[in-house]
Amino acid sequence: MMPMSPDRSERTILQLVAVAIVTLVSLFAVGLLVGNATGTGPSVNVPDRPAVVPRAPAGRSVYIAPLGDFPIDTADALTGYYRDRYALRITLLPSTSIDHAVRDSQRHQLIGEDLIGMIELAYPDVVRDPRAVIIGLVDEDLYIRGRADWDWAFGVRGHDRIGVVSTARMVSVLGALGDAKQFVRLRKMVTRDIGVLYYDLPLNDDPSSVLFSDVLSVDDLDRMSDDF
């Protein structure tokens, strides 16, 4: 006896299923091709280079100084970023502890001006080099004594060669994504100091510029670009 063949409705359903599977596979393949063609696929490596790099001053160098409990791996990543992106002569200094004398016990904040003085004492050999720029990194909150109208600050610059950046007010509560966003914010403030202290670039009134003069909030940081 011959086996019973499926009726017409069963054949139609099987054909529709087969067509749907082929269509999905085709769309997936096209998506991969488009993704790779536009640089969004996993196998594409697009170099991250700035549109404009200011001319480096002759003989000048940048030093990154992690202070207190600032994470060494973050400071190291930052150093590598500027070495690769801007071809800076940049060095990661050994971490040093933060002197209690630079802390305001009543405000529970670091005193920006005193922190600059502490850096001068902590790295005397580097400070003696008139071509050296030092940027200290802290994860504690700080304020600037000379700015009585500010309760806190993202950082402070002293003299013409030393600056400090604090990440205390850059913190996000988004887990790993927040860590990445915080690193970008830190990077923008360090880039800003490098622009002023290393490249001798002036601050400006453009809120989208990394050299914007009035950076008073995280929103200001997020609006700023990441390059000069």
Residue range 61-223, CATH number:
3.40.390.10
More confident: 7 or 224: 224
Give the per-residue pLDDT at 78: 96
Instruction: Please tell me the least confidently modeled range out of 48-57, 154-163, 210-219.
Output: 48-57
Model confidence pTM above 0.85 = no
pLDDT of residue 88: 94
What is the per-residue pLDDT for 16?
Answer: 47
- Compute the average pLDDT of residues 118-131: 96
SS (H, E, C) the chain: CCCCCCCHHHHHHHHHHHHHHHHHHHHHHHHHHHHHHCCCCCCCCCCCCCCCCCCCCCCCEEEEEEECCCCHHHHHHHHHHHHHHHCCCEEECCCECCCHHHEECCCCEEEHHHHHHHHHHHCHHHHCCCCEEEEEEECCCEECCCCCCCCCCCEEEECCCEEEEECCCCCCCCHHHHHHHHHHHHHHHHHHHHHHHHCCCCCECCCCCCCECCCCCHHHHHHCCCCC
Quick check: 82 and 89 in contact, CB under 8 A? no
pLDDT digits (tens, 9 = 90+) for 14-41: 454 454 444 444 443 333 333 333 233 3
Q: Which two tokens stand for residue 220?
A: 């200001």
Q: List the domain boundaries for the chain.
A: 61-223
Residue 178 pLDDT exceeds 70? no
- What is the sign of the dihedral through the CA atoms of 142, 146, 151 and 154? negative
- Write down the mean pLDDT value for the chain: 82
